[in-house]
Amino acid sequence: MANSKYEYVKSFEVEDEVMPPNLIVVRIDGRDFRRFSEVHEFEKPNDEKALNLMNQCAMAVLEEYPDIVFSYGYSDEYSFVLKKTSKFYQRRSRMLKNKTEMNFSINNLVEHVVKYNEDGTPVKRLRRKPSIFHSENIAGRSFWNEHASLLKELRGFSEDCFKLNPDYIRSFLFESKMMPSIWIVIRIDGCHFHRFSDIHEFNKPNDKQALDLMNLCAVAVLEEFQDIIFSYGVSDEYSFVLKKDSQLYQRRASEIVSVILSFFSSMYVMKWKDVFPKKELKYPPSFDGRAVCYPSAEILRDYLAWRQVDCHINNQYNTCFWSIVKSGKSKSEAQSYLKGTQAREKNELLLKEFGIDYNTLPPMFRQGSSVFRVKTETSIRENGASVRKAQTEIITEYCNIIEQSFWESHPSILD
């Protein structure tokens, strides 16, 4: 992120590390899944295909994240257990987040042939391979003792889980509530988006369709969550501002972050074909996120200004960088050429060498995207007479949100 006078807002970000040697369990639950299952006509009381889909998703999670050594799921819930020595995301909790047959997955270590020596002998390495099992009892000590790989990662158990007090287990739940009567911002960022954009052949330095897709997802988030009053996005990043007195999920940070992240990611997949009708989505994107509190409207505006300054500085650099690369230079040559250059020098380079007037580039590239609600009036006919009716509309604008004039034009956003 670029340096600017607004960087002080980073001091409000708090790192919530889960200290070792505590084991980390990330539990996810379906949001409003009863309605989801009814709309999609799941069989009652259990839909085998829906459960298999949940299991396949859990398998994909274990394949993506080797630090997860075990998972357990039923219905619309899944729990993922990280190995005891995990340094995944430096153990920051905000980043991780019945008499029935029980489904669980184990990330076993198995040997894979990675290459062959000159004499033809295989070179083997241990790799994790997830597998799905079904058991009627995973709480007993005997089950765990049968899986040596799990005991190695999680350590042994002193007694059967059935003998533990549920209140004792609940005492370990990590719940971070945001302070009342202050602004909450949820910022999400794409994970490994350089790779994602390369594989999907996004245009450099900006892909208008990809940015349009991000904006459509942000609009959908505002439609779904009325407590979100403003959002600002650039590249693979979006910030969502909740109203000051919001009680969404009782202001529990982990729940707010996870539900916005999952909804945004789902919308990205669902709306992909609307924006890229001729391009296949080769794999789904993932995002990480954080929740940060800002005590005043002024500091909140400085946060948003910081993100917009970051947008401008990065876009100016990337426009220069990719113009140089497209002219035939290597990436390392482009980096060396731009090292230490100031904004004025970059603008001169673009204009003199490539005929690009930076200030005439699309505002979405230079200033990012702002998504918010505005009140409008429409005329309707009632009993033969014209009646003015107020309504709210979600709009996307590409404008300067650093200047006071924007907020004066839209006073209702932070009221």
In a domain, 414, yes or no: no
pTM for the model stands at: 0.82
| Nearby residues of 258 by Cβ (< 8 Å), 6 or more positions away | 28, 97, 289
Q: Which of 53-67, 86-100, 142-156, 335-349 has the lowest mean pLDDT?
A: 86-100
The verdict on 188 and 328 lying in the same domain is yes
Q: Which of 51-65, 164-178, 187-201, 204-218 has the lowest mean pLDDT?
A: 164-178
**CB 135 within 8 Å of CB 143:** yes
Specify the amino acid at residue 246.
Answer: S
The verdict on 164 and 255 lying in the same domain is no
Domain boundary among 311, 335, 355: 355
The verdict on 161 and 201 lying in the same domain is no
pLDDT at 104: 47
In a domain, 391, yes or no: no
Domain boundary among 170, 196, 215: 170
Residues facing residue 291 across a β-bridge: 186
Specify the amino acid at residue 324.
Answer: I
Structural domain range at position 114: 17-170
The percent of residues above 70 in pLDDT, for the chain, comes to 78
pLDDT at 381: 73
Q: Which of 160-174, 227-241, 242-256, 313-327 has the lowest mean pLDDT?
A: 160-174
pLDDT of 358 above 90: yes
Dist. CA 410–CA 412, nearest whole Å: 6
Here the tokens at position 34 are 């009863």
pLDDT of 111 above 60: no
The verdict on 244 and 157 lying in the same domain is no
Query: If we measure between CA atoms, which residue out of 108, 65, 72 comes closest to residue 87?
Result: 65
pLDDT of 148 above 50: yes
pLDDT at 120: 65
Between 198 and 19, the higher pLDDT residue: 198
The verdict on 157 and 202 lying in the same domain is no
pLDDT at 325: 97
pLDDT of 100 above 80: no
Query: If we measure between CA atoms, which residue out of 239, 199, 203, 202 comes closest to residue 368?
Result: 239
Here the tokens at position 222 are 């505002």
The percent of residues above 90 in pLDDT, for the chain, comes to 63
Dist. CA 208–CA 341, nearest whole Å: 27
pLDDT of 94 above 70: no
Query: If we measure between CA atoms, which residue out of 386, 384, 370, 329 comes closest to residue 353?
Result: 329
In a domain, 405, yes or no: no
Between 150 and 264, the higher pLDDT residue: 264
Q: Which of 43-47, 140-144, 350-354 has the lowest mean pLDDT?
A: 140-144
Which DSSP helix (H) or strand (E) runs through 154?
A: helix 148-154
Between 188 and 385, the higher pLDDT residue: 188
- Give mean pLDDT, residues 59-69: 88
Query: If we measure between CA atoms, which residue out of 284, 249, 252, 251 comes closest to residue 269?
Result: 284
Mean residue pLDDT of the chain comes to: 86
Q: Is 240 helix (H, G, I), strand (E, B) or coil?
A: strand
- pLDDT per residue over 1-43, tens digit each? 456 789 999 888 877 666 666 788 889 999 999 999 999 999 9
pLDDT of 97 above 70: no
- Give mean pLDDT, residues 203-218: 98
The verdict on 300 and 223 lying in the same domain is yes
Show contacts of 199-202: CB within 8 Å, 24+ apart: 199/282, 199/283, 200/276, 200/279, 200/281, 200/282, 201/279
The verdict on 28 and 59 lying in the same domain is yes
The verdict on 206 and 326 lying in the same domain is yes
pLDDT of 173 above 60: yes
* Total of domains in the chain: 2
- Give mean pLDDT, residues 222-249: 98
Domain boundary among 170, 194, 218: 170
- Give 181's DSSP letter: T
- Give mean pLDDT, residues 46-52: 95
| Nearby residues of 299 by Cβ (< 8 Å), 6 or more positions away | 9, 12, 183
Query: If we measure between CA atoms, which residue out of 177, 338, 147, 353 comes closest to residue 253?
Result: 177
**CB 16 within 8 Å of CB 92:** yes
The verdict on 338 and 191 lying in the same domain is yes
Residues facing residue 367 across a β-bridge: none
Alpha helix stretches (DSSP H) within 225-296? 253-270, 272-275
pLDDT at 158: 55
pLDDT of 159 above 90: no
pLDDT at 102: 40
- pLDDT band (50, 70, 90) for residue 388: confident
**CB 46 within 8 Å of CB 98:** no
Q: Which of 219-223, 250-254, 297-301, 304-308 has the lowest mean pLDDT?
A: 250-254
The verdict on 146 and 243 lying in the same domain is no
What does 42-106 look like in DSSP terms, one character per residue?
A: --SS--HHHHHHHHHHHHHHHHH-TTEEEEEEETTEEEEEE-TT--GGGGBHHHH---S-EEEEE
pLDDT of 349 above 90: yes
